[in-house]
Chains A and B, each alone.
Chain A
Amino acid sequence: MKRDWLPVVLVPALALAALPLVASLPIWVTLTAAGLAMGMMIFMMASGLTLVFGLMDVMNFAHGAFISVGAYAAASVLIALKAEAQAPSLAANLAAIVPAVLAAIALAGVLGWFFERVVIRPVYGDHLRQILVTMGGLIVVEQLIVVVWGPDMIPLPRPESLGGAFVFGDAAIERYRVLAVVVGLAVFGAMWLALNRTRIGLLVRAGVENAEMVESLGYRIRRLFVGVFVAGSALAGLGGVMWAMYQESLTAQMGMQVMVLIFIVVIIGGLGSVVGCFAGALLVGLTANYTGFLAPKLALGSNILLMVLVLLWRPRGLYPVGK
């Protein structure tokens, strides 16, 4: 089977192209690590949305709510377990981090399940109403966060063992960024295996292309919809925790703010493509970091420019799904 590797090769090509422009190996290493870490976190948040787009044809603007709720759930646990989180011991830190991450995944997943049943289900097949109700849902959840956790920004110091940096010569790479890359790779690997090596994954991939045909083969795709929606929401919750700890603070609007980047990644990758989403997220992360260093005034628009260039090259994204 012939695979299209070109979009994946773009990621190292972009990194290598930036090396002579940055002109300093230590700075390039630091920027590249930061870009990859940012890309991995965006991937975690975006991967669920791309599957929901592709499989269910649902434009879910409320995805940001799952990110915020995940982050707040984890923050509550980390604040409650402050002594463990800030102790100079990896074991003690893990005793705080693991339940925090599980709380984020669980709460975001439950919220996703509720959203699918109550908000999304009545508007399947109607994009305009989907945009309206999911935007409305996002605002409602944001306000609920304000009611429960208050309107102020909450500082979220990283657990002790996730602070500091690895130093290689003159280059320093924050430990947290290494963790983000490792977790991102693990999530991508798990999703790839689930989609390519299991029957459920086969059904999801087929459903992304042609849900009606999957039903005609005798599979109840609505159940699959719910499962994917919940899994995508849970992943957004995980991404939310990672993003909040990366920013070391959280606000009720953090999900909405990062949604612009997430939509860019989903569009660049090709609606419904997990591999495209992964490559797109890394391109976005690297572009943001290189541009921020080389031409700070362009940094805000650099990802829009990247999206324009990708769509000029491949109008349906890096890995268009054959709908």
Chain B
Amino acid sequence: MPEALLSLSGVNTRIGQYHILQGVDLEVPRGGLTMLLGRNGAGKTTCLRTIMGLWRASAGRIRYADAEIHGLKTPDIARLGVAYVPENMGIFAGLTVRENMLLAARGGPPDEKRLAWIFGLFPALEKFWHALAGNLSGGQKQMLAIARAIVEPRKLLLVDEPSKGLAPAIIGNMIEAFRELKRTDTTMLVVEQNFHFARSLGDTVAVMDSGRIVHAGRMDALAADEALQARLLGLSLEAHQ
């Protein structure tokens, strides 16, 4: 297995009186796509937000590209090459698609070649380039959220439930887009509830339960082991198969 670009060890996160992450140990191999699965409330979103610095870990270590990032502020983590697509997509509804993309390109206007590549992944964005992002459909908003995250090359992409609420046809498009992204050297950590989506894309997988990682390994191994799926993911898996 390639060396880890991101590793969490013993990470604890508390939100108010709730102890959400209770000692998370996770390794995300460089250049691959790691799926983070688990039932609702297992702590997946909290895990991504903690990595991003949006919630502060109360204990543990978070290492990224051989540097400790626990304690850094969110903008500083982003500037190290980490992009984040939250569960609600975080689209700026009152800005146009173009303005959303301009804002994400910190280094100046987006590179034309890269933009053409992104339009190849998500043709709708070119069509609605000057439209208000708030007027896009749910699928188009998700495309914009991901396009915004990759408008400049990033080392690590954190994506929270990219298939959530999308029609099956759009999910198919999204899977194709992620396959194309996998051909780049971007490392991805993707939270998912849709097992079909996860199985189609994941190289490695980690499963969370009650704020801990309870399983980590190859995605194809989990996909082939129905008993393990049932034990780790239970009804939530069957509902999405």
Give A contacts to B, CB under 8 Å: 1-2, 199, 202-203, 205-206, 208-210, 212-221, 321-322
Contact of A218 among B75, B96, B130, B134 (CB under 8 A): B75
B93 touches A2 (CB 8 A): no
How far is the CB of A74 from the nearest CB of chain B, in Å? 35
> Which residue of B has the minimal Cβ distance to A321?
B94
The interface on chain B, measured as residues whose beta carbon lies within 8 A of the other chain's beta carbons, has a size of 26
Q: A1-B130, A209-B92 are in contact. Are A216 and B103 (CB under 8 A)?
A: no
Which of the 9-residue segments B78-86, B183-191, B199-207, B221-229 touches chain A?
B78-86
B90 touches A210 (CB 8 A): yes
Contact of B103 among A1, A206, A221, A321 (CB under 8 A): A206
> Which residue of A has the minimal Cβ distance to B134?
A322
Q: Could you tell me the distance between the alpha carbons of A14 and B84 in the complex, rounded to whole angstroms?
A: 46
Q: Which residues of B contact A205 (CB under 8 A)?
A: 92, 94-95
How far is the CB of B48 from the nearest CB of chain A, in Å? 11
Q: Which residues of B contact A217 (CB under 8 A)?
A: 78, 103-104, 106, 148
B54 touches A1 (CB 8 A): no
How far is the CB of B65 from the nearest CB of chain A, in Å? 16
Give B contacts to A, CB under 8 Å: 52, 54, 73-75, 78-79, 84, 86, 90, 92-96, 99, 102-104, 106, 130-132, 134-135, 148
Contact of A2 among B84, B99, B104, B135 (CB under 8 A): B135
Q: Could you tell me the distance between the alpha carbons of A210 and B103 in the complex, rounded to whole angstroms?
A: 13
Contact of A215 among B78, B102, B134 (CB under 8 A): B78
Q: Could you tell me the distance between the alpha carbons of A319 and B52 in the complex, rounded to whole angstroms?
A: 32
Contact of A203 among B79, B84, B103 (CB under 8 A): B103
Q: Please name the 6 residue pairs, one residue from A and one from B, whose CB atoms are nearest each other, closest first.
A: A322-B93, A218-B78, A213-B90, A215-B74, A206-B92, A216-B84
How far is the CB of A279 from the nearest CB of chain B, in Å? 16
Most buried by B among A213, A220, A321: A213
How far is the CB of B110 from the nearest CB of chain A, in Å? 13
B90 touches A216 (CB 8 A): yes
How far is the CB of B53 from the nearest CB of chain A, in Å? 8
How far is the CB of B52 from the nearest CB of chain A, in Å? 6
How far is the CB of A226 from the nearest CB of chain B, in Å? 15
Q: A1-B132, A322-B134 are in contact. Are A219 and B75 (CB under 8 A)?
A: yes
Contact of A202 among B103, B134, B135 (CB under 8 A): B103
Contact of B92 among A2, A213, A220 (CB under 8 A): A213
Q: Which residues of B contact A220 (CB under 8 A)?
A: 73, 75
Q: Could you tell me the distance between the alpha carbons of A321 and B99 in the complex, rounded to whole angstroms?
A: 16
Q: Which residues of B contact A214 (CB under 8 A)?
A: 103
Q: Which residues of B contact A1 (CB under 8 A)?
A: 96, 130-132
Q: Which residues of A contact B79 (CB under 8 A)?
A: 218
Q: Could you tell me the distance between the alpha carbons of A273 and B134 in the complex, rounded to whole angstroms?
A: 16
A202 touches B94 (CB 8 A): no
> Which residue of A has the minimal Cβ distance to B106?
A218
> Which residue of A has the minimal Cβ distance to B152?
A218
> Which residue of B has the minimal Cβ distance to A221?
B75
How far is the CB of B56 from the nearest CB of chain A, in Å? 13
